Structure 1
Amino acid sequence: MGKYFGTDGFRGEANVTLTVDKAFQVGRFLGWYYGQQARGEVCRIVIGKDTRRSSYMFEYALVAGLTASGADAYLLHVTTTPSVSYVVRTEQFDCGIMISASHNPYYDNGIKVINGSGEKLEESVIEKIEAYLDGESGEIPLAERDRIGRTVDYAAGRNRYIGYLISLATRSFKGKRVALDCSNGSAFSVAKNVFDALGAETYAINDQPDGFNINTDCGSTHIEGLQKYVVEHHMDVGFAYDGDADRCLAVDENGEVVDGDRILYVCGKYMKENGMLVGNTIVTTVMSNFGLYKALDREGIRYEKTAVGDKYVYENMSKNGYVLGGEQSGHIIFSKYETTGDGIVTSLKVMEAMLEKKESLGKMAAEVTIYPQVLKNVRVKDKNEAQADPEVQKAVENVTAALGDTGRILLRPSGTEPVIRVMVEAETDEICHMHVDSVIRVLKERGLTIE
C-alpha cells in the first residue's frame, strides 16, 4: 500500500484526508497519463459516484483535472462500482473512476481507479500518481485550444449495465417476494429496476439517499433491519448491499443472515452440480470460517486461501482461471461475468441457485455450520519478531494439535498497525477464548507486547 492509495483506492475523510485539491491533481495526472497512452487519440475516462454529499464536489474536481489535461470525462452519475468496471471494459474506455468510500460513513469518501480491463489499477501506475501528488515528478502540461477536454452525460452507460444484469438471469423471478436493502447508496439507482424487470415482487428499503444517510444503520454492515423486514413481510429472500454495491449479504426466509462464506458454498455447490465450477475450486481468504472449509471438504470441492482483500482473491482467480471466489464480508466474484465484486450479480446468482434447485436459501445455507470465532488484537513492539518467535510458534502449534480437525488458529500481522491478530475458531466460544488467551500469554511472557 502506498502513502495515499490503499487496497481499495485513495480513501479518507472528505476535505480532511482526501481533499478537493488532491482530487483535482489525480484528475490532472490520469488525464495526462492516459492521454500519452492514447497515442494522439482523445483519452476517454468514465466516472461514477455514490450518494455522499461530497461525491459531487469530488466529481467536479476530477472532471476539471481530467479536461484540463485534455481528456474527455464521461459521467455515469450515481451508480455502482461494478457498473463502472463493466462500462470501462465493454466500451473501450482508457480507465474508470469511482467516487465512493464503500461501507464507510457519509463523511468519508474515496477515489477508486479502474484500468482499461475493468480491474483495479496496477501498483506501478499508483506509484506514479503518488509521486505526482508529492511533487516528485514535475509539472504536467495543460491542454490548450482544441485539445482541452469535454464532459459527456453518459447515463446511457448505466442503463446498458442494467440491461446486462437482466440478461444474466436464467429464468423469471415471478412469484418470488424479494426485499432489497439499498443502504441509501448506489444500489438504489440499479437494483430494484433489475428485480422488477425479472418479474419479482420487489420491496426496496433504505432507498431514499439524502447525502448523509448512506450506510447509516442499514445495508450489509447493519443487516438487522433487513432481517426484521423479511420476517415481518414474509419475504422469500432479502439482499443487503453496501454503499457502492460491490458487496452483498443475504437473509433467508427465516430472517437468518447468509454471509459471504455461505453464499460461496451455496453458489459453489450449485455450480459444481451443473459443471460450471472450473477447477472444482473456490478462492477464499484466510479469514473465511472453518465451517465453510468443513462443508466444502464434505462436498469434495477444493479451495485456495489468499490474503484478506478481494484484490488478492481476484488475482488468484485470474492467474488460475477459477470462476468463483470471495470474502466473508460479501465481496463475491463470479469471474465469468465480472472483474470485481458485484453485489447485484451475487444476488442474481443466489436467486439462480434457489430457482434452479427449487429450494429455499435457508435450506441450502443450513448445510454450513458456522463455527464460533474469537479474534483479539495484541499491540506488539515488532510484528515480524513477534510472529517469528520460537515460543510463540510453539504455542500456535500446540493449539493446532489440540484442535485437530475441530477448529483452527490463525496468527497474522495487521497491515497498518503494530498489531498481531490472534484468531481461533472452534466448537464453542469457551474453547476459542482459552486458546487465544494461551497464545497472548506467551506473547506477553516473551516481552513482545506493548502494555
Structure 2
Amino acid sequence: MVDHLGEVVDGDEIMMIIASYLRDKDELQGGVVGTLMTNFGLELACKRLNIPFVRANVGDRYVMEQLSDRGWLVGGESSGHVICKHLTSTGDGTIAALQVLVAMAETGQALAQLKKVMQKLPQKMINIKLAKKVDFSNNEQIHAAVKHSEALLADKGRVLLRPSGTEPLVRVMVEGENFDQVVSICEELAKNVETVLESLVC
C-alpha cells in the first residue's frame, strides 16, 4: 500500500496496523506471527502494546503453522504476504488491504497516521556468495562474531545469519536504532563471516 504522502507501507506495517486495530476492539485473539526477516521495529511495537510476537521461518506455510498451533489471527511477511486467519487461510494482499481500509474508516485516521503505531528500524543486509553450500551452524568463530555484534547493539537491535535455501549464499542482516552503526556492524560481521566460510569451503 502507499499512503497519501507517497510512502510505501510494507507488510510489517500492515500487520501492525491490523493487529493494533483488532486489539483495540478486543478481537485480536493472541498475537502476531512474523518471520525471521520481519523488521525489529514490529517486535518492539508489539512489546510496547503487550501483544505477543513470535518469528517463523520465511514462507506462508510456516507462518500459517504458527498461527494454527497458537490459535492466533494475524501473521505474514514484510513482502506483503499477510494472513488474516479469521478471513482467509493464506497470504492475501487484497484482504489485508481491505482490513487496513476498515481501520482507516472506523478510526478516521489516514494511513500515514496509522502506520506510526510502529517505527521501522534501519536495516542492512549483505549477501555472501560461496563456491558451495557449507554448514556453519556449529562454528564457534561465527557464533562469537555474532555475539560480539549483538553486544554492540545492546538489545536495541538484532543480528541474523541466514543461508539461502536455493543457492550457495549466506545473508548477513543487522537491524538497530542508528543507521551508521548498523552499517558498520553489518560490514564488519560480513567480513569476518566470509573469512571463516571461505576457509570451510576449501
- TM (norm. structure 2) is 0.92
Unmatched tracts of structure 2, length 5 or more: none
Q: Contact between 1:381 and 1:448, CA under 8 Å: does it hold in 2? A: no
Q: Contact between 1:378 and 1:449, CA under 8 Å: does it hold in 2? A: no
Alignment correspondent of 2:139: 389
Equivalent of 1:422, from 145, 148, 172?
172
For the residue of structure 2 that corresponds to 1:258, the secondary structure is coil
Equivalent of 2:86, from 311, 321, 336?
336
Deviations 1:175-226 (A, max 9, x none): xxxxxxxxxxxxxxxxxxxxxxxxxxxxxxxxxxxxxxxxxxxxxxxxxxxx
2-side partners of 1:255 and 1:449: how far apart? Answer: 46
Task: Please state how far the C-alpha of 1:450 moved relative to its aligned partner.
Answer: 6.4
Alignment correspondent of 2:22: 271
2-side partners of 1:433 and 1:388: how far apart? Answer: 26
Q: Contact between 1:387 and 1:411, CA under 8 Å: does it hold in 2? A: no
Letter in 2 for 1:286: L
Alignment correspondent of 1:364: 114
Q: Contact between 1:324 and 1:334, CA under 8 Å: does it hold in 2? A: yes
Alignment correspondent of 1:374: 124
2-side partners of 1:385 and 1:433: how far apart? Answer: 25
Q: Contact between 1:379 and 1:450, CA under 8 Å: does it hold in 2? A: no
Q: Contact between 1:395 and 1:438, CA under 8 Å: does it hold in 2? A: no
Letter in 2 for 1:274: K
Letter in 2 for 1:327: E
Greater Rg, structure 1 or structure 2? 1
TM-aligned CA distance change 1:344 to 1:443, over 3 Å: closer
Alignment of 1:448 onto 2:196: no
Letter in 2 for 1:369: Q
Greater RCO (CA < 8 Å, at least 6 residues apart): 2
Trace 1:158-197 onto structure 2 (pairs within 5 A).
Answer: none
For the residue of structure 1 that corresponds to 2:155, the secondary structure is helix
1-side partners of 2:191 and 2:97: how far apart? Answer: 43
Alignment of 1:431 onto 2:181: yes
Alignment correspondent of 1:112: none
For the residue of structure 1 that corresponds to 2:32, the secondary structure is strand
What percent identity do the matched residue pairs reach?
Answer: 37
Deviations 1:392-450 (A, max 9, x none): 10000111111022211101111011111100012233222211222222234434376
* Alignment root-mean-square deviation, CA: 1.8
2-side partners of 1:436 and 1:330: how far apart? Answer: 25
Q: Which moved more, 1:408-417 or 1:359-368?
A: 359-368
Q: Contact between 2:134 and 2:200, CA under 8 Å: does it hold in 1? A: no
Alignment correspondent of 2:153: 403
Task: Please state how far the C-alpha of 1:327 moved relative to its aligned partner.
Answer: 0.6
TM-aligned CA distance change 1:332 to 1:324, over 3 Å: same
Letter in 2 for 1:289: N
Q: Contact between 1:380 and 1:386, CA under 8 Å: does it hold in 2? A: no
How many aligned positions are there? Answer: 201
2-side partners of 1:355 and 1:300: how far apart? Answer: 25
Unmatched tracts of structure 1, length 5 or more: 1-249
Q: Contact between 2:42 and 2:118, CA under 8 Å: does it hold in 1? A: yes
Q: Contact between 2:145 and 2:193, CA under 8 Å: does it hold in 1? A: no
Q: Contact between 1:382 and 1:448, CA under 8 Å: does it hold in 2? A: no
Deviations 1:242-297 (A, max 9, x none): xxxxxxxx111222111100011111001011111112x10110101011111111
Alignment of 1:255 onto 2:6: yes
For the residue of structure 1 that corresponds to 2:117, the secondary structure is coil
Alignment correspondent of 2:64: 314
